[in-house]
């Protein structure tokens, strides 16, 4: 029985602390709010109960008193509860109130600090809150104070006279009131100031302006909550030190259609380049109901001349069957091993196997040419084993059989359709705010079009379609869709570079 009050950080899921991640993974119940990035929920155990209690100005899923009662009730059931809060729980997060309620109820708790948006948003906008040549202190202030209050809780004269950097949170609605009070208290109208909207996320926007111009600049640029207001000399560094918004894919919205088990590398690479990644796996990797054919092949591995792996999943599931049979990598000592693509080769290397052959071209013809070369043109009568997905394309096995090989194509796993994030993708598409959809295989094209018809994509030609290689591009064209982006080498890193090249020189609208 314990409650962890966890700071989820300001929006970038990479800013969750390691301690916060571990506490989240240990929880039986996750109580989360609107400012906690959805990606963080993937750190929770799949069977954990997830309860949304989000609070946005004017709309509360649960009042604070009910949130307190919920935390107490779940913990009283003997469960570990993770209360996931945006930013830091103790900085304008009402975490102190929740902690007091837990203490009063005799519930053990622990506060896990998070990175506050008051610090992180300016940093991502190129504004260091302290600088030895400009200021040596920071004042963090709520901007949520009602203008009609008879007496302000803030000492505006002290704030205006201070050499401190002023950071106002939750203050966009009151921006004119805040600026008016600072100017009335004697602050220089030319004081550098800045706004940062949705700091640390791919939707971040920022601007710098003299204090007296800040409200008008906010209106002209369409700024709203959630935004951080920074007032002080350090704001003048925004233009020279701003780094986050300069990334080559910053602000671009990119859909990744690969199965979630395969998507992490692509998604991470795109995120690191500033893109907003929408993971919309069109397939999920599922175990087979019957492994008897593959298990029988595992027992006669010494009869095969070659093992050919076409994917990381094929490697992973084949090794699971080896382990199930009480075997390990030594069982394939008599076989030569081919890996189609560097990711597959890396998966083999992690299991102590250096592939004998990695083709230069990851298409059936290229694989066949390389195998023929390594076998001095003689593969007739030799046995090949291909452990791979059920219902995969037959081109490579057919080419091998034409050359006289004996080929066993055995399913090691299966792919099933998935429909995660369909609504989000459609919403972005209809709003004209979806820059690109990436496809890593023909099956992802087919399954994506089963969710979102080709005619819908054709109605939005501004959305670019990217294919990892010519086979996938052909599948797009079969449905009457263009392939706008395709790398010369058909790998995930090269696909990332192709996207970077395509979008990198174009300003994001």
Report how far apart, in Å, the C-alpha atoms of 383 and of each of 312, 321, 378, 386 are.
Answer: 22, 20, 12, 10
Nearest-5° Cα angle at 323, 45 to 410: 100
pLDDT at 507 over 60: no
Q: Is 350 helix (H, G, I), strand (E, B) or coil?
A: coil
Which residue, among 261, 354, 365, 346, has the nearest Cα to 307 in the 3D structure? Answer: 354
pLDDT, tens digit (0-9, with 9 covering 90-100), for 315-357: 999 999 999 999 999 999 999 999 988 889 999 999 999 999 9
Sign of CA dihedral 494, 495, 498, 500: negative
C-alpha 109/C-alpha 14 separation (Å) is 24
133 in catalytic set: no
pLDDT, tens digit (0-9, with 9 covering 90-100), for 83-101: 999 999 999 989 999 999 9
Which residue, among 488, 306, 478, 492, has the nearest Cα to 403 in the 3D structure? Answer: 306
Asked whether the domain spanning 286-416 has the same topology as the one spanning 253-282+418-504, the reply is yes
Q: 253-282+418-504 adopts what CATH topology? A: Rossmann fold (3.40.50)
CB neighbour burial string for 54-80, b if at least 16 within 10 angstroms, e if fewer: ebeeeeeebeeeebbebbbebbeeebb
pLDDT, tens digit (0-9, with 9 covering 90-100), for 145-186: 766 666 778 999 999 999 899 999 999 999 999 999 999 999
CATH of 286-416, one of 3.40.50.150, 1.10.10.10, 3.40.50.10070, 3.40.50.10090: 3.40.50.10090
pLDDT band at 32 (very low <50, low <70, confident <90, very high): very high
What percent of the chain shows pLDDT beyond 90? 70
1 in catalytic set: no
C-alpha 181/C-alpha 159 separation (Å) is 10
pLDDT at 59 over 60: no
- pLDDT on residue 47: 92
Residue 23's Cβ-side half-sphere holds a number of Cα atoms within 13 Å equal to 25
Mean pLDDT of the chain: 90
170 in catalytic set: yes
C-alpha 264/C-alpha 240 separation (Å) is 33
- pLDDT on residue 287: 86
- pLDDT on residue 263: 54
Candidates 12, 55, 88, 187; catalytic one: 55
Helix-then-strand count for the chain, H and E: 19, 21
Domain boundaries, the chain: 2-114, 119-246, 253-282+418-504, 286-416
Which residue, among 8, 482, 74, 429, has the nearest Cα to 255 in the 3D structure? Answer: 429
Cis peptide before 226 (omega within 30 of 0): yes
- pLDDT on residue 130: 96
CATH classification of 119-246 is 3.10.20.30, yes or no?
no
Candidates 74, 85, 170, 486; catalytic one: 170
CATH classification of 2-114 is 2.60.15.10, yes or no?
no
Residue 143's Cβ-side half-sphere holds a number of Cα atoms within 13 Å equal to 27
Strand (E) or helix (H) holding 318: helix 312-324
Query: Which of residues 70 and 372 earns the better pLDDT score?
Result: 70
The answer to whether the CB of 32 falls within 8 A of the CB of 53 is yes
């Amino acid at each position: 029985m314990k409650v962890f009050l966890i700071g989820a950080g300001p929006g970038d899921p990479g800013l969750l602390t390691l301690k916060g991640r571990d506490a989240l993974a240990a929880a039986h119940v996750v109580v989360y709010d609107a400012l906690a990035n959805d990606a963080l929920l993937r750190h929770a155990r799949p069977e954990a109960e997830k309860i949304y209690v989000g609070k946005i100005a004017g709309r509360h899923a649960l009042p604070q008193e009910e949130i307190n009662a919920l935390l107490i009730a779940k913990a009283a059931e003997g469960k570990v509860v993770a209360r996931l809060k945006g930013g830091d729980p103790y900085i304008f997060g009402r975490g102190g109130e929740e902690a007091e309620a837990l203490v009063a109820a005799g519930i053990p708790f622990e506060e896990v600090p998070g990175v506050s948006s008051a610090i992180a948003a300016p940093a991502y906008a190129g504004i260091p809150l302290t600088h030895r040549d400009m200021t040596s202190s920071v004042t963090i202030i709520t901007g949520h104070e009602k203008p009609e209050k008879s007496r302000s809780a803030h000492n505006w004269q002290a704030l205006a006279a201070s050499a401190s950097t002023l950071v106002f949170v939750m203050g966009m609605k009151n921006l004119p009131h805040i600026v008016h009070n600072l100017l009335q208290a004697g602050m220089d109208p030319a004081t550098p100031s800045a706004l940062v909207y949705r700091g640390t996320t791919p939707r971040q926007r920022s601007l710098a302006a003299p204090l007296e111009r800040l409200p008008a600049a906010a209106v002209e640029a369409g700024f709203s909550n959630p935004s951080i207001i920074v007032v002080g000399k350090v704001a003048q560094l925004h233009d020279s030190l701003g780094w986050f918004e300069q990334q080559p894919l910053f602000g671009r919205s990119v859909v990744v259609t690969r199965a979630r088990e395969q998507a992490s590398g692509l998604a991470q690479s795109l995120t690191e380049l500033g893109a907003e990644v929408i993971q919309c796996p069109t397939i999920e990797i599922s175990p087979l109901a019957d492994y008897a054919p593959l298990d029988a092949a595992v027992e006669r591995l010494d009869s095969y001349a070659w093992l050919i792996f076409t994917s990381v999943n094929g490697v992973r599931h084949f090794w699971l069957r080896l382990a199930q049979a009480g075997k390990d990598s030594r069982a394939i000592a008599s076989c030569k091993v081919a890996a189609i693509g560097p990711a597959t080769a890396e998966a083999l290397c992690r299991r102590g196997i250096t592939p004998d052959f990695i083709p230069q071209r990851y298409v059936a013809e290229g694989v066949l040419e390389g195998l023929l070369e390594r076998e001095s043109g003689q593969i007739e009568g030799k046995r090949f084993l291909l452990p791979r997905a059920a219902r995969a394309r037959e081109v490579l096995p057919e080419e091998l059989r034409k050359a006289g090989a004996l080929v066993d194509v055995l399913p090691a796993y299966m792919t099933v359709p998935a429909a995660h994030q369909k609504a989000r993708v459609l919403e972005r598409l209809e709003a004209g705010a979806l820059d690109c959809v990436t496809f890593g295989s023909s099956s992802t094209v087919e399954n994506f079009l089963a969710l979102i018809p080709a005619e819908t994509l054709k109605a939005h030609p501004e959305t670019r379609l990217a294919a990892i290689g010519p086979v996938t591009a052909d599948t797009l064209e079969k449905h009457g869709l263009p392939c706008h982006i395709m790398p010369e080498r058909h790998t995930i890193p090269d696909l990332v570079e192709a996207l970077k090249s395509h979008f990198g020189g174009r300003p994001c609208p």
